[in-house]
Amino acid sequence: MDLKRYGHADAQDVRSMLLDIHDEVYADNPDPFHSRERFTYFLDLWSARRNWRCVSGCENGGPVGYAYGSVLAPGGWWKGSTRPSDIRGPVFALSEFMVLPKWRGTGRAKKIHDALIAPVEANVVSLQVEIAHFKVVHLYESWGYRQVDESKPSDDSPRYAVMVKDMPR
């Protein structure tokens, strides 16, 4: 799998690819929360951050998936959740992580994940995952994440497990 890294300056160049992968991942999900329009808003919001970073994977000339995020502002945390008092210093928020269905269970997701967080200068990486997706929660646990809270950032959003992974120093 070929991995490509992008930063804030590349956001407009990769926007269509990220939206197309989103559309394929959520093709059978009628929930308006997962609509292209809603996702576009969040993609633009996150990629506007100067420290936004993204890693995509490609194989056989086609996309595998991607992950992106950024270091939160000092003291920042997820909407609908309270930052645990024992988390100090910089936090990298892994905002989105999508792998096309045909590539799930192949180990490629872990490679994309690791390529995204390896160069991060933060004490912890944090992410949110829908609580109803038990297998994904357990997958993150197997990668060293632990749940520290639950959140529901908006009235129409699903409930999320807020998870963190300590970064080696």
* 118: Cβ contacts below 8 Å, ≥ 6 apart: none
The count of structural domains within the chain is 1
Can you list the positions of beta strands (E) in 34-132?
53-59, 62-71, 91-99, 124-130
- What pLDDT does 168 receive? 85
CB 162 within 8 A of CB 149: yes
- Which residues form the domain of 60? 2-166
Distance CA 108, CA 139 (A): 13
- What pLDDT does 45 receive? 96
Give average pLDDT by consecutive 10-residue segment, the chain, 169 residues: 97 97 94 92 96 97 97 95 95 97 96 97 96 96 98 93 93
Backbone dihedral angles phi then psi of residue 97, each to the nearest 5 degrees:
-150, 110
In the numeric block, which tokens belong to residue 169? Answer: 């120093």
Distance CA 154, CA 164 (A): 21
DSSP state for residue 41 in the 8-state scheme: H
Say which CATH number the domain at 12 has.
3.40.630.30
CB 83 within 8 A of CB 75: yes
- pTM greater than the 0.75 cutoff: yes
